[in-house]
Homo-oligomer: A and B are copies of this chain.
Amino acid sequence: MISSLSSQTIGILGGGQLGLMLLQAAIDWNLRVHILDPDAEAPCRHLATSFQQGSLTDYDTVYQFGQSVDVLTIEIEKVNVDALEALEREGKKVYPQPSVIRTIQDKRVQKQFFRDHNLPTADFILTDDRGHVTQFTEFLPAFHKLGRDGYDGRGVQRIASADEVHKAFDAPGVLEKAVDFNKELAVIVGRNERGEMMTFPTVEMVFHPEQNLVEYLFAPAEIPEAVNQQAQDIARQTAEAFGIVGLLAVEMFLTKDGDVLVNEVAPRPHNSGHHTIRANVTSQYEQHWRAILNLPLGDTTAYQPAAMVNLLGEPGHTGPARYEGFEQLLGMPGVFPFLYGKAITKPFRKMGHVTVMDTDLERLRQKVAEVKQCVRVVS
């Protein structure tokens, strides 16, 4: 019963910025949240009911941490799924479900899952190693993605032609037809135990040209309503196919032909939903709690159009972080910086983000440009 919300304990595997924003949302309902993270300096270290330093990939550590809580969730996919499955078998609530995490951990399995469930996705070939890749030069240009352990652009390479095949990762991967796309879209779906679903408005992601990291994002995406409907439907179908309990962030391509294709998914709060803290009735973080605690899902309506600018560590700067221009940011109306509390900045490290809001789209774009001009994370 709900009266016991604050008497149950929740564990999160991972104590980074997503965990931090989950903790911030958890304060509203006085949820007791315990964190496991390998980094003693993780952003969540001071703000959890308890913080345990330990490996997320070690069976015993994850298993024992899971046993100490009533509900277990994640803020990062790279965790020991065997331990989660053992906990699930023993009746522990583990959301998202270990089977979902297992499927998503390996991009090969994930892609095959899309195909098996008739979810539209770019054509692909599963490859075993570099030698295998060289057999498919007629399939190029393509993206070659490592099956496991890719993260934030690492583990993804573009192979334009046969000349470049020699640089392919020499490990199991997926060779994905390079799609001519106009936009990259994302929809975050919340789904609870009862199977209720609620989607956030479709957003448009703009990637950093070099780093394959989201550089900024607009919400809502500027797309025709029919395309929006397609993106929303595909996101729901994807969440339904997984049967996920929790959040599923569905990244999609809008091709030049007007098709919407699933690119990849994440079973947790996502970079493409940071702005919802300020801009939407329910944030993705609160929605995560609602979904995994089997509560009614919250209204996802936006109050105003919003943009999100990632605060990435400036190239050439490694060391204790300083935020140049932070005070000017705070003087700009409708501009909301959020810092992740990472002591050390490195080139392109995600150090924070800035949510920007405005009722007028042109002014919103103008403000985004000003924010990007104004703030730098340096050492």
- The yes or no answer to A141 lying at the interface (CB within 8 A) is no
Chain A residues within 8 Å of chain B by Cβ, number: 42
Which segment, of A41-49, A153-161, A239-247, faces chain B? A41-49
Which segment, of A52-60, A178-186, A228-236, A318-326, faces chain B? A318-326
- B299–A331 touching, CB < 8 Å: no
- A2–B281 touching, CB < 8 Å: no
**Chain B positions within 8 Å of A20 at CB level:** 27
**Chain B positions within 8 Å of A322 at CB level:** 3-4
Instruction: Indicate with 1 or 0, residue by residue over A299-328, a CB within 8 angstroms of chain B CB atoms.
Output: 100011000000000000000001110110
Bound-state CA distance A43–B30 (Å) is 9
- The yes or no answer to A296 lying at the interface (CB within 8 A) is yes
Pick from B2, B4, B28: contact of A336, CB under 8 Å: B28
**Chain B positions within 8 Å of A49 at CB level:** 46
- The yes or no answer to A62 lying at the interface (CB within 8 A) is no
**Chain B positions within 8 Å of A296 at CB level:** 327, 330-331
Bound-state CA distance A6–B337 (Å) is 13
**Chain B positions within 8 Å of A27 at CB level:** 20, 23-24, 47
A-B contact pairs, 7 of them (CB 8 A): A4-B322, A27-B47, A30-B43, A30-B341, A32-B46, A281-B334, A295-B330
The chain B residue sitting closest to A278, CB to CB, is: B281
The chain B residue sitting closest to A33, CB to CB, is: B46
- The yes or no answer to A224 lying at the interface (CB within 8 A) is no
Instruction: Give, as a whole number of angstroms, the nearest-CB distance from A236 to chain B.
Output: 20
Of A30, A331, A340, chain B has the most CB atoms within 10 Å of the CB of A30
Known contacts A339-B30, A341-B30: A298-B3 contact under CB 8 Å: no
- The yes or no answer to A290 lying at the interface (CB within 8 A) is yes
Copies of chain A in the complex: 2
Pick from B43, B298, B339: contact of A28, CB under 8 Å: B339
Of A3, A50, A299, A303, chain B has the most CB atoms within 10 Å of the CB of A3
The chain B residue sitting closest to A340, CB to CB, is: B30
- A327–B2 touching, CB < 8 Å: yes
**Chain B positions within 8 Å of A338 at CB level:** 28-29
Instruction: Give, as a whole number of angstroms, the nearest-CB distance from A2 to chain B.
Output: 4
- A residues bordering B, Cβ < 8 Å? 2-6, 20, 23-24, 27-30, 32, 43, 46-50, 281, 290, 295-296, 298-299, 303-304, 322-324, 326-327, 330-331, 333-334, 336-341
Bound-state CA distance A215–B340 (Å) is 37
The list of the 5 closest CB pairs from A to B, nearest first, reads A3-B322, A296-B331, A30-B341, A2-B327, A30-B339
Bound-state CA distance A322–B334 (Å) is 38
Instruction: Give, as a whole number of angstroms, the nearest-CB distance from A195 to chain B.
Output: 16
**Chain B positions within 8 Å of A341 at CB level:** 6, 30
Pick from B298, B303, B304, B326: contact of A2, CB under 8 Å: B326
The chain B residue sitting closest to A46, CB to CB, is: B49
Instruction: Give, as a whole number of angstroms, the nearest-CB distance from A163 to chain B.
Output: 46
- A339–B3 touching, CB < 8 Å: no
**Chain B positions within 8 Å of A46 at CB level:** 32, 48-50
- B47–A3 touching, CB < 8 Å: no
The chain B residue sitting closest to A4, CB to CB, is: B322
Bound-state CA distance A43–B31 (Å) is 12
Bound-state CA distance A67–B56 (Å) is 39
Pick from B4, B29, B281, B327: contact of A295, CB under 8 Å: B327
- A333–B299 touching, CB < 8 Å: yes
The chain B residue sitting closest to A282, CB to CB, is: B336
